[in-house]
Structure 1
């Protein structure tokens, strides 16, 4: 049945109490000039709400007539005693996404300045269009559930009072109220995805299935209900498995670590739980960092996590983002501006580079590295390889504000063992001076005095103890005059400090105030 007075019809469907319950005393109405937003503005003024209503129009400058249209919209509302705030896109470029982002940046900025809620004219037809767009783009449950009546975007409350009202009813309202309409001629251009869904796909569907829009919105309601049940479960898993790091403006240029994932939690999930986890994490990554994760990319990350042969690996995403696996931790990192891992079109451009835990592969690699030791030493000297030779006890500058300190201790085994976590403890009588403190080189061997002169390659020890490549490169080795690695500072003591009461040396790293420290003896 057609409602004769569409104003009364809208009043019956719009929850006026929800608007009255808002804590914000100002409402910013997104005003495009089309039938939807003109109806919204007129209808809100007719409700005699206690809030102050501000109209905001954004000129994208994508059409020759856009500025003329903006002036006419302003003039119309001024005649009605209402002011319109107009924003302009200073760097217009074709594309739906860019235009939407520029428009919402303008609208949310005004809402923040006015401490207001933003009101948009999204309606039932928009919901159906959004469903198909999200479906074709393999969206998550959250995306397929459509737009809620109210949400928070960029810290601003967004209200959609017309969400469940068909556009036809808005058009009838505008006609009865004799509202002027400024339609965007590009709305008929099916080169844009939404316009194609609106003008080409939906007419064909509704011609065959007249109740299709209502059926779609019913299903969206079911998906929304399911998403509400799933959301806290996924939030709990994300809380247990993920650590999110804030990224400052400076770090957006220089690069930073964004997300850390404990893979032990992920591998314990069922197939269905993990499927929903990646959807939830993709939504979180988009909201927090603007990372667009496709289904294909999350599947690749999942495979990297579950791989039993890849202990460490790197997966390149779009633009400057990459995912790095370091044993039980997976990290999302933003590379510096000077680096790029792929394209920025949103398509998958993933490539995995990895360090295998296969024994044969490791032995071949170490054998290759041993043959390159001589050339490595020459290159290291040419590049100023960080190292210091220690002739006796004292403090020696390593690099920057970092020094190594060597002291003599006369302690019993119990007290010595208690110091092992912060210092490298070694029997004084077993030291072959001079000692060298440096980073690792190919072919380095650990020499375990307490284990019948047992040797082990440094790289093998790092692999067995699941030390990441980054930590390996930064680790400081202590090497004696016979080229044996007798310990790794902050990581490993090669002598068991339970050899009875005797003299020891303690070697530790010390951060100094100045980078110009002189060695003292």
Structure 2
């Protein structure tokens, strides 16, 4: 009896991952790992074998995928197994972050099948080598501490659970089992290239680490378990404060700030990490490490502003209004009426017809749907102190008119230009940290926008607006 067979039978007998009466959905790609998992379930004794079906996704990225899907469909029909499949039509149009987008599609499909057919448990064939690669990849990308605990063998998923029965087994054990059972499986040729970080780690880094330490998997697993225990202890201790400060709304979250801003920075980071984790689990909102650090910095500035706005992906925005943070989706894909602090390389929609970015890049990333809008730019050099803020006019705001430093009140500018009162109130301007006005959007710029020393330009403001 093989190591995998003994281990899998023991897992079934212990009933820690599933019960015999559970209905399982097996995620099967056709590769060696998932075909071994499918075979292991088929070989369980009747008393331990749960009812299960197979789910497969054809990502449409390889010619061989059609034949693989056809084989799996026949395999399942011959064994009396229900077979569900989906084709990722958008796959060939995705040009960046392909792995993430493919994973999102897969798991959305699995969740849909589970909900429609009544399956409570999703089983995947992740193994010990996947665990090593995942921890290293997240460490290399600068992920949050919680993510360094790696892949969990059992975790909640869309009203049910995901299980990974092979997670503690090395890849080689699975390959040996497949060979001994003479299983038919398919090799994904893209796994042999170095286009993806995971592949580079698998092919170039992990073998070296295994040579250095044959117990690499055990040590990474132990490290992940220790980290998980420390984080769980910290989160339990802080949960009462988190629960009293964070409120789930129908369209987002509200965070009461007094108790949080009075805590030390380390406590703030843990509390906010708990919050970001909840955002991802409930709304799939990914907040970058840079954005997380920005929030903590804004909350702890000596002259902390009572109002500011940060924009996240998928039209989510975090708005501070005095003693409260609100995280919500913008109704029409643009910013709320609060002050907007500009973060370099993060563009923001000021309205349905205007978009703004502070950038140091020669070719910044601009959303596809605004690339053809009317464009204007302004250089930002060392004379301006960051951060820059987009806001409405305030009493006393003045614009520098010429090289002599003569100034004009923004209110007088509106009068001289015969700007209607309603438009004056809705107009936005850009000011630096010292409240120097750089630009009254969309047309009037400060004299300081004229630069005679290009080598001292640190950033550019790019303003795009749709022709009316």
* TM-score w.r.t. length of structure 1: 0.63
Distance 1:83 1:370 in 2: 71
**CA-to-aligned-CA distance 1:202-226 (integer Å, 9 cap, x gap):** 0121122222222111101111222
CA distance in 1 between counterparts of 2:240 and 2:79 reads 52
Deviation at 1:332, TM superposition (A): 2.4
3-state DSSP class of the match of 2:259? helix
Deviations 1:142-201 (CA, angstroms, capped at 9, x unpaired): 211122221112323111111111111111211222211112111112211211111111
- Cα deviation, residue 373, structure 1: 8.3
Any unmatched runs of 5+ in structure 1? 248-257, 386-438, 441-521
Match of 2:264 among 267, 270, 286: 270
Q: Which residue of 2 aligns with 1:100?
A: 103
Contact 1:261/1:329 (8 A) holds in 2:
yes
Look up the match of 1:328: 323
- 1:228 aligned to 225, 232, 247, which one? 232
Contact 1:20–1:50 (CA under 8 A) maintained in structure 2: no
In the alignment, does 2:39 pair up with 1:42? yes
277, 285, 290: which is aligned to 1:291? Answer: 285
1:300 maps onto 2:294 in alignment: yes
Deviates more, 1:259-268 or 1:27-36: 259-268
TM-score norm. by structure 2 comes to: 0.70
Candidates 178, 188, 199, aligned match of 1:184: 188
Q: Which residue of 2 aligns with 1:429?
A: none
SS across alignment from 2:15: helix
Q: 2-side partners of 1:15 and 1:122: how far apart?
A: 20
1: CA distance, partners of 2:117 / 2:328: 36
- 1:5 and 1:335 map into 2 onto residues whose CA distance is 54
Instruction: Report 1:335-414 matches (<5 A).
Output: 335-339=330-334, 342=346, 353=389, 364-365=396-397, 368=409, 371=412, 379-380=420-421
C-alpha separation in 2, matches of 1:245 and 1:6 = 46
1:132 Cα deviation from its structure 2 partner: 0.8
Matches within 5 A, 1:107-118: 107-116=110-119, 117-118=121-122
Shift of 1:333: 3.5
Please tell me whether the aligned partners of residues 322 and 333 of structure 1 are also in contact (alpha carbons under 8 angstroms).
yes
Asked if structure 2 preserves the Cα contact closer than 8 Å seen for 1:34 and 1:183, the reply is yes
Q: What are the equivalent positions in structure 2 for 1:15-94 lying under 5 Å apart? A: 16-21=14-19, 25-47=22-44, 48=46, 49=48, 51-93=50-92, 94=94
Partner of 2:437: none
C-alpha distance in 1, partners of 2:255/2:416? 38
SS in 2 for 1:323: strand
Q: CA deviation at 1:103?
A: 1.0
Call closer, same or farther: CA 1:64–1:156 in 2, change over 3 Å: same
The offset of 1:130, in angstroms, is: 0.9
Q: What whole-Å deviation, never above 9, does each CA across 1:273-329 have from its counterpart, x for those lacking one?
A: 112122212211222333221222122112222234322223333452333222212
Query: 5, 10, 18: which is aligned to 1:7?
Result: 5
What secondary structure sits across from 1:178 in the alignment? coil
Alignment partner of 2:396: what SS?
helix
**CA distance in 2: counterparts of 1:148 and 1:76, whole angstroms:** 29
Structure label with greater radius of gyration:
1
Q: Tell me: CA distance 1:179–1:261, structure 2 relative to 1, closer, same or farther (3 Å).
A: same
1:245 aligns with 2:245: no
Which position in structure 2 is the counterpart of 1:214?
Answer: 218
Query: Once the 2 structures are TM-superposed, how far is the Cα of residue 338 of structure 1 from its aligned partner?
Result: 4.7
Q: 1:112, 1:217 → 2: CA distance?
A: 32
Q: Secondary structure at the match of 1:91?
A: helix
3-state DSSP of counterpart to 1:259: strand
